[in-house]
Amino acid sequence: MKWVTRALVALLVLAPIAAGGAFAAYQWFLGQINEPGPMEGAENQIVLIPRGAGTIRIGEQLAEQGLIEDTRLFRLASRYYELDSSLKAGEYSIPADASITEILRLMEEGDVILHPVQVIEGSTIAQAMRAIEASEVLTGDMPETPEEGSFLPDTYMVTRGTTRAEVVQLLMGAQDTLLDEIWANRQSDLPLASPEEAVILASIVEKETGSVGDEDLVASVFINRLNRGMRLQSDPTIIYGISQGERLTRTVNGQEVQRGLYRSEIDRYTPYNTYQIDRLPPTPICNPSEAALRAVLQPAESDYLFFVADGEGHHVFARTNAEHNRNVARWRQIERSRRNAQ
């Protein structure tokens, strides 16, 4: 049994030595993954981590860009912190002196760079889709164009590499969510049979106002006219019936300039010409803003039946046709004065 005794003695002697070595290795490891990166003093580095990249590929990419020196340490650190499957794809601005631990925490939290994708209030679905297609931060093919008025205009912050199909779904989902909320809380006795009709009317309000702040009063005019069986008589609906919302132009001195409506166009029947049709056109004429959508479902209380621009960015309202004609005459005078000044 002497060999057993010798083995026990050896273990008693070597165990503290092994423990001391393991502790020293552990301290060395912690020091390595928490010390500043090799590019200390340089500018932040932009790193784009593709979807599906594992710690091996991420470590290689960080090493290629000079942010870490040892890819094995990066992999070991990710296992040590149990982050192997928690690192998020995206575009990161990584401080040049970031330690491996700091980089891992940054990617665990998904603190990525966000880019704006803007859909302008009052843009048509075709115009919005062109903006999405032109974005340099989005990827993938363009999906099928949704129905007119399906988007909720806003500036959406997305990560580089987001697909165009995902953005289209985001814009449609945002409008659906808002409509669910405001339709349920709409005023009673509105002459609107469905959320779809609310979007149609809101698109007209949007085009008439351009989000200048009196959407609720303009909405009240249209609601009052619908309740009385009067035609809406909105110029933007005529334009949509002619050009699907693209601006009308004419040639002056060899250049294309925007123009107004011709009398023949006002008199021409299209399914969108609200001077010629009763009630609402068949579809929206643009993507209405949240303000316009809320306005048609919670319009101001008024007995106005007419409105026209006031020359200062808002509108002047009238109850009678005679009063409205006076307001229109003032607006025409303002237009003439501006043209003469130009």
Whichever domain contains 70, its CATH number is 3.30.1490.480
Is residue 23, in this structure, part of any structural domain at all? no
Residue 216: predicted pLDDT: 95
**Both 69 and 49 in a single domain?**
yes
**Both 314 and 200 in a single domain?**
yes
**Both 158 and 264 in a single domain?**
no
pLDDT in tens, 293-317: 999 999 999 999 999 988 777 899 9
**Both 104 and 157 in a single domain?**
no
Is residue 83, in this structure, part of any structural domain at all? yes
Boundary-marking domain end, from 59, 76, 109:
109
Boundary-marking domain end, from 109, 128, 155:
109
E strand or H helix at 251: strand 249-252
SS (H, E, C) 99-153: CHHHHHHHHHHCCCCEEEEEECCCCCHHHHHHHHHHCCCCECCCCCCCCCCCCCC
pLDDT in tens, 199-242: 999 999 999 998 678 999 999 999 999 999 999 999 999 999 99
R_g over Cα of the chain? 32
**Both 195 and 285 in a single domain?**
yes
Positive or negative: CA dihedral 290, 286, 168, 212:
negative
Is residue 278, in this structure, part of any structural domain at all? yes
Cα dist from 9 to 23, 177, 181, 289, whole Å: 22, 73, 77, 82
**Both 337 and 199 in a single domain?**
yes
Cα dist from 221 to 179, 203, 233, 283, 315, whole Å: 22, 14, 11, 20, 12
Is residue 182, in this structure, part of any structural domain at all? no
Is residue 27, in this structure, part of any structural domain at all? no
**Both 303 and 212 in a single domain?**
yes
Boundary-marking domain end, from 76, 91, 109:
109
Looking at the 3D structure of the chain, how many domains does it have?
Answer: 3
Block means of pLDDT (10 residues each) for the chain, length 342 residues?
Answer: 43 50 80 84 86 90 91 91 89 91 92 95 97 95 97 95 96 98 95 97 95 88 96 96 90 84 92 96 97 97 91 87 90 77 66
**Both 146 and 244 in a single domain?**
no
Residue 225: predicted pLDDT: 97
Is residue 13, in this structure, part of any structural domain at all? no
How far apart (Å, rounded) are the C-alpha atoms in residues 272 and 237? 5
Residue 342: predicted pLDDT: 61
**Both 157 and 300 in a single domain?**
no
**Both 224 and 281 in a single domain?**
yes
**Both 76 and 218 in a single domain?**
no
Is residue 45, in this structure, part of any structural domain at all? yes
* Closest listed residue to residue 239, CA positions, set 194, 206, 272, 200: 272
* Closest listed residue to residue 140, CA positions, set 118, 98, 168: 168
Cα dist from 288 to 55, 187, 207, 208, 295, whole Å: 44, 19, 8, 11, 11
For residue 53, give its domain range.
32-109
Return the C-alpha torsion angle 277, 281, 282, 287, nearest 10: 170
**Both 193 and 337 in a single domain?**
yes
Is residue 181, in this structure, part of any structural domain at all? no
